[in-house]
Amino acid sequence: MRYLIIYDISDDNLRNHVSELLKDYGLQRIQYSAFIGNLRRDKLNSLTVDLRRLIGEAVENVQIYPLCDVCFKGRREIGKPKRYELVEEKRKIVYF
Q: pLDDT per position in the chain (96 positions), as tens?
A: 999 999 999 999 999 999 999 999 999 999 989 999 999 999 999 999 999 999 988 889 999 999 988 888 888 878 877 676 555 445 555 544
Among 25, 53, 49, residue whose Cα is nearest residue 39 = 25
Residues in Cβ contact with 89 at an 8 Å cutoff, skipping those fewer than 6 apart:
none
Instruction: Output DSSP code: residue 60.
Output: -
- 25 closest CA partner among 10, 54, 45: 45
DSSP 11: -
pLDDT of residue 91: 52
